[in-house]
Amino acid sequence: MSVAHDTICPLEVAHDLTAEPGWRCWKVEANQNLPFREVERMMKTQDVLLKAMAKKISWLSAAEIIGVTPRTMRRWRERLEEHGYDGLRDHRKGKPSQKRVPLAVCEQVLELYQTRYYDFNVKHFHEKLGEQHGIQLSYTWVKQALQGAGLVVRKRKRTPHRKRRPRKEMPGVMLHIDGSKHAWFQDDRHYDLIVVLDDATSEIYYAQLVEEESTATVMAAVREVIESKGLFCSLYSDRGGHFFYTPKAGEPVDKGRLTQFGRALRALNIHMIPAYSPQARGRMERSYGTWQGRLPQELRLAGIQTVEEANRFLRERYIAEFNRKFTVPAAQPDTAFRKCGRRDLDLVFSIHTERVVSKDNTVAIGDRWWQIEKCRWKRTLAGQTVTIHRHLNGSVSIYWGPHRVAQFPDGRGTAASMEAMENQTQVSHRSHRRLETASGASHISTAPASSNPLSPKPKAKRVA
């Protein structure tokens, strides 16, 4: 196609998209009502095309100037030759999109959010639309619709953050454990959600609501994981008092002074790793953000209002659903979990307290007393050091070395005294001698220091 007089259509011609005789230019159909920006784009495209057709610039340069690929430039050249100036118009503009959502569907989405899913985040609501109502829409459309209707607040862009620590290679190399206090039932009741998460895959192995995160609750969580999955290599946690002993706030933990929980994991050769900042536990913190944004709403939809029902819901249904959505493949297909061959997990995961038997063959913790009956192989245990095991199911057993000398199914002390005594120093008594724990000893002395001796008191309660 040749251009008359080797001239280019001037920009002034674009006001009415006509040209004087002697200029080679094209008209747009009379019934076309185009915005100024579209007219300006068409003018620029025609100007560059005409220069390329007049061989003043190459077609590759023309494509680069307009910002399109050479293939698109060839199509535009063909459209210009066939349809004239109107061929440069974007024919999609002015027509309704083929992906336009019907008004009735839009109204249904907004009504569902306002009446039923008003406390869901956008991602969670988008999933429910597809799963429960068969409404298949893009996440971006749903988010923009809710924001445009004023139902969801626009959030500012996430600020840049430091690089995340790479995941471990396979499951079982490192697990995370933590508790999150939250109003899980959306009322004034606050409970702790204890979660055990695998670093390699983000799979949840344990999730239960408890009154308070404590030695007993984290022991129960880890024991259940060991029984269901096996022994693992390391456990990553915060520096809570039931995990580590910290001599002074802000200083490193004292790994030489074990808590009851630390003693149990050392017995199983599981390495404990303390975290010194929330950012260091970013994977677990992000997981808790997801839990807090989803679990309360799921409990409300299921009509659950008690801890027992919520824990049953978690075990039987929601943990599996959560893992299907958020578990990622491990870098290596193998596993670091190994079957636990020990049969004494009930003793390992118990609160150990050493005491010296009194002359009347009793031992005490606080105001709780236990009577040791006569043994057939020893006349009396008075003056001997025994270990009181307070088990997770509430029972108490007393051991002298490897021998169980007493057992009380309902003999556990109060929860308050149990927590207060876990990680302190040894109690003194006139008939007791201070216990020193040798390196490698199987019993760790963690009873509390007290200025009042544990002598018999009128109010003391003996448990036969």
On whether residue 23 sits in a domain, the answer given is: yes
On whether residue 340 sits in a domain, the answer given is: no
In this predicted structure, what is the pLDDT of residue 4?
39
- Alpha helices (H) in 190-281, listed in sequence order: 215-228, 260-267
pLDDT at 342 over 70: yes
Q: How many domains does the chain have?
A: 4
Both 178 and 319 in one domain: the answer is: yes
Both 262 and 366 in one domain: the answer is: no
Q: What is the pTM of this model?
A: 0.62
Buried b / exposed e over 152-178, threshold 16 CB at 10 Å, is beeeeeeeeeeeeeebbebbbbbbbbb
In this predicted structure, what is the pLDDT of residue 45?
77
In this predicted structure, what is the pLDDT of residue 129?
93
Both 213 and 314 in one domain: the answer is: yes
Both 441 and 316 in one domain: the answer is: no
84 compared with 94, residue with greater pLDDT? 84
* Mean pLDDT across the chain: 79
Both 193 and 296 in one domain: the answer is: yes
Both 112 and 227 in one domain: the answer is: no
Structure tokens given for 277: 């900042």
Both 188 and 228 in one domain: the answer is: yes
On whether residue 157 sits in a domain, the answer given is: no
Confidence of residue 417 (pLDDT cuts 50, 70, 90): very low
Both 181 and 300 in one domain: the answer is: yes
Radius of gyration of the chain (CA): 37
pLDDT at 212 over 90: yes
Identify the domain boundary among 326, 361, 386.
326
Highest mean pLDDT among 95-104, 288-297, 416-425: 288-297
Both 123 and 211 in one domain: the answer is: no
pLDDT at 428 over 80: no
pLDDT at 149 over 70: yes
On whether residue 161 sits in a domain, the answer given is: no
On whether residue 235 sits in a domain, the answer given is: yes
Q: Which helix (H) or strand (E) holds 370?
A: strand 368-371
Condensed to tens digits (0 to 9), the pLDDT of residues 23-60 reads 344 444 444 556 667 677 777 777 887 788 788 888 88
293-299: long-range contacts (C-beta < 8 A, 24 or more apart)?
A: 293/121, 293/124, 294/120, 294/121, 294/124, 294/322, 295/184, 295/193, 296/119, 296/182, 296/183, 296/184, 296/185, 296/186, 297/117, 297/119, 297/120, 297/124, 299/184, 299/185, 299/186
Identify the domain boundary among 61, 88, 115.
88
On whether residue 249 sits in a domain, the answer given is: yes
Confidence of residue 66 (pLDDT cuts 50, 70, 90): confident
What CATH code is carried by the domain that includes residue 188? 3.30.420.10
Write the DSSP symbol of residue 338. Answer: B
In this predicted structure, what is the pLDDT of residue 424?
39
Identify the domain boundary among 292, 326, 360.
326
In this predicted structure, what is the pLDDT of residue 155?
79
On whether residue 415 sits in a domain, the answer given is: yes
Rounded average pLDDT over 71-80:
83
pLDDT at 411 over 80: no
Both 202 and 307 in one domain: the answer is: yes
In this predicted structure, what is the pLDDT of residue 111?
93
Both 264 and 359 in one domain: the answer is: no
Both 268 and 299 in one domain: the answer is: yes
Structure tokens given for 252: 């490193």
In this predicted structure, what is the pLDDT of residue 315?
95
Condensed to tens digits (0 to 9), the pLDDT of residues 233-291 reads 999 998 888 999 988 887 889 988 999 999 999 999 999 999 887 776 788 888 989 99
pLDDT at 65 over 50: yes
On whether residue 336 sits in a domain, the answer given is: no
Domain that holds residue 231: 174-326
Write the DSSP symbol of residue 409. Answer: T
β-pairing, 271-274 vs 234-237, is parallel
Q: What percent of the chain has pLDDT over 90?
A: 47
